[in-house]
A and B are shown apart, each in its own frame.
Chain A
Amino acid sequence: MVESSRTASRSRAVIGESQHLLFSVAPGALWIFVFLVLPSLYLMAVAFMTNGPYGLPQMPLTLDSFEQLAGFGFLGWSPGNLYTLLRSLWQTLIATVLVVMVAYPIAYYITTCRVKWRAIMLLLVVVPSWTNQVIRTFGWMNLLAPGTPLSDLAQWLGVIPPNMGLYPSNFAVTLGLVYNFLPFMVLPLYAAFEKLDTAQVQAAQDLYASPMRTFWHAVFPQTLPGLLAGTVLVAIPAFGMYVIPELLGGGKGMMLGNLVANQFAGGSNWPLGAAGAILMLIATFIGLFAMRRIGKRLGGGEEVVI
């Protein structure tokens, strides 16, 4: 009797807990499911549909959009989309490397400053990213337009032909990407530098390691988790960037994000845009997966939290 009542109360408690889970988590889970998972699944389905008039998707199911994405059209194969993809990869790579090269010394420098200055310095790095992306990019348009001091300087140096501006160009896109993503790299690197174990550096120096070797063996491995987290935060959104190439790149600076967006913004070809989105997602997940693997292998067991 006692036994059964106990199980009864326990099962009631289990039901209570499950109900609790339902009431607390269900609204949000349902919201994300209905307004993000379903739309994403729908988008994937769209990629396999036929492009109807007005760019809206229709039955029957085909693989046309993927063929178009690969560059096959009415006039045979053209390399335009392939160039766009390669350009996206290239810009992402260059921008990420440049961001690391700027952020690494900056993050280190902040940790060498007095504690009371550090919060202010970090704030100074982050504040520009609080302004809207469109405004920041507009600022660069103002700076790089023809007739501005920077463009005049570039003309004088012979980097660009006379009467041209530094934008639109691939260079302007790279610059915009570096500008946009710098804070995302500084913050995780700063966190890594702040908890740097200086005993290791001391040990290396006591053993007469050269500064180079000290850096590579005692400092760099410790900052690797921050570096990887920053790379994820920079490279993945950079790969899908839309605003910066659209405003600073011009026709020859288009990236995958523009290719995808233009199929929707112009209303020309939803299935093609959806196929591009799938490609972008695959790249994103490969990137995330690769970073996790690298993090696990090199981070010395420390999980890289993304």
Chain B
Amino acid sequence: MSAAQLGLAAETGWFLEHAYLIPIVPAVAFALIIFFGKRLPMKGSEIGLASMAASLVLAAGTAYQWIDRVDSFAGEGDHEGALGGFARAFRFAEEGHANYVEPVIRKVVWWQSGGVEIGLGQHIDGLAVMLLVLVTFISLLVQIFSLEYLRGDRRYTHFFAALTLFSAGMLAMVLAENMVQLILGWEIMGLCSFMLIGHWWEEEANSRAALKAFFTVRVGDIGLLVGTGVIFFGASAYATKLGNGSSGFSIDTINQWALSGTGSRSVLLWGSVALFIACIGKSGQFPLHTWLPDAMAGPTPVSSLLHSSTMVVAGVFLVARLYPLFHTGLEINVAGQHFNLIAVIGGITILIAAALAFVQNDIKKVLAYSTVSQLGYMMMGLGVGAWTPAVFHIFTHAFFKCCLFLCAGSVSHSGSHHSFDMKKDMGGLLRKMPITAACWIISTFALCGVPFFSGFFSKDEIIDNAHHNGYNVFFIIGLVGAFMTTAYMTRATYLTFFGKARGAAAGEHHDEITVVHADPHGAAAPVLAMASHGNVVVADASHGGSEAPDEAAAYTPDDAHGHDPHGHDAHDAHGHDAHDAHAGPHESPALITVPLVILAFLAIVSGYLNAAFLHIEKFTEWVAAAGDGIHFPELDHAPFKWANTIPSILLVLAGFLVSLALCKAVFGERKNPLQGLTQRVAPLRWGHTFLVNKYYLDVLYEKVIVHGVAYPISKGIYWINQNVIDRAVNETGIETRRLGGWIYRNIDQRVVDGAVNASGAAARGSGGALQGTQSGKVNQYGALLFGAAAIGALVLVIVNF
């Protein structure tokens, strides 16, 4: 059913028609940074920032025109522009029905093979528009943050290049017209993830984490390749039927095919299962979640952008994008269904990741597990048929999680002296870093789902819908998850900002004597600093050497040193006393706090796009596709009732109180029987050890599976290769030579007469001439082989005649 058939005027515009430019801009910027970045005054970061800003403008334009388009559909033809649509939105929401808004699909032929034309283009609908805006916006903020955070880093230009390429990949995936383009963006993100996690590759731990991330996601990608192949042929047949020039890779066609009922059940099932495996890998779902916490080895902006707010939602996005396929394939919302693959995996992920967040000392790891857990919520939401809340959670989560990570970065940058260890180097930072602390706390409220903060509007809806759609187990899991989320976040907040200052947060430095300046590797950046800030040199020198041994995993000495002086330089520029600047924790400079404040603000207000209690359902209207049963399944979303939110609000409150009490007891200053409880009581100790070891999944994967394949299995195969297959070849050669010798001695010499002997001598003569290369033998063998072949030919011919 197209717009034309309905008699509707499809509102479109330049930005909608040219949305494909949004990823192209950063892609071009990437090339420019790589080739010219180093020669520019800001080492290429200006290109990255400019491209992200340009993309953001384009995305905003696209969003504006998309909203116009939605309104023109909703208004049954009498489109009055955006303002008119704004007023209508209420009426529209109340009426409770909607027309399916045609996505803006444009494409050019990318390749053709076997009579199929595969395009490269754009599929712009509400989901794509939402993510385009989100990704460009967050990327821009993170790049601004990185200007300061990575200043002086030895691979500054590379960093910005990779960050920009990442955005290009994500944007290309978000607006992908077909599965192949989606895979393209998906894998480019994987590549950037590898480059950025391993940004400080001098340390083996970092390069291992990079490898692990890429490799684990790649394991999931088996499903992506297979799943795409599985659905391709079924959808191809349907594409022919549609006759709109699309292929079986086209997302629109796949969705319509899945809902058409013409696809075979098993193809739909296996296709969606395979694709979901890819989502498990990319979105850090159980059991492939193990790479995500390790990925924190990358610089904090990377953790913030890639490993919390954008890239890792790619798996969730894929499910949301092909929702008709998953909905049909896994029979989501079919009467009487209580479990399905997506919900189960999502549910397990919520709980196991939240449990792990309790035993982390590294603030970034807490956030990493929190991310895993929240991704679980999104998946579970999709699994129980709560499409809109799940997608809304992508949206709100991006802001507050990005903010939390950047807060962690800010703390480490200016508060804990590049340490991320909450127990060793943090505590009591509330007064020292008030802006960071405020932003952190706001975002934490949002994450926990405290009412009137954004997370409440999305996460609670997921939980509520699980109940509404009859998935009671997942309703309970959601509630338990909310409790745990609040509890671990309270713990992290307490350890970081409250209580007694410890380690670096208390101004302690682990060792004051430096040798780092003598290291030629790190020399250049400090030399630059000296040139402009001669008075700080001494301070820098003593400061630079105070590398905590426990930070070694995240920074090599010269790396940390490379950007170490600059935070203080910035302070100097702001008029602070140099000694104050490094004497202890302090608030971060504006380049860091401004993004924090913006994000914290959004962590509150982004939820009000879909605040049902105020009868605002803008997000649903703009982003969610109307379920017409042809392009998108008809979904039944729970109406908002305050009564339904009571259980989760109570649990959040309980989580907060319980955790606060425990924190005060365990980490407080007074002696308390609870301290060291996990050491004394055996079952608790076992549980603790089990959690600290991450359920031994890493051991299973790394020590058993990967190690097994990389060493015994591959060595075994190689042994077979050398000692069986290759040996057979060598033996054949040796035996043939022996046979040749025997024939020569016993037949040739005895039977054949002197004429042949003469030619043999000639052959030996020529062989001698080429002795260095053993050509004589080649001739001999060649002759033998040809002889054998001739006999074979004879046999073959005789048999056939």
Asked if A and B are interacting partners, one says: no
